[in-house]
Amino acid sequence: MKANSGHAEQAIERIIELSAKAQITRRMVAKDSPAFHNLTGAIAAYGKALALLIALQQREEFYAIVAAA
């Protein structure tokens, strides 16, 4: 389980980095441009992926606690 948790942590950190870069880049492009809308979609997708990974990580932690009890 620890190996999977480590991979999840790395994936979470990478998604946060990518999302931050996309948000910074989006601030530099014109609103209503195709690039702005593409970046908005990417940021939303990063948010969904992040929510999924965190939920899975919390589930693993819950099962670990239950198994230890």
> Strand (E) positions, 1-69?
none
Closest CA to 11 of 56, 42, 44, 43: 56
Q: What is the pTM of this model?
A: 0.81
Residues 47-64: tens digit of each pLDDT: 999 999 999 888 888 888
Q: Are 49 and 15 in contact (CB under 8 A)?
A: yes
Q: Return d(Cα 11, Cα 47) in angstroms, integer.
A: 13
Which residue range forms the structural domain that includes residue 64? 2-68
Total structural domains within the chain: 1
Instruction: State the chain's mean pLDDT as an integer.
Output: 91
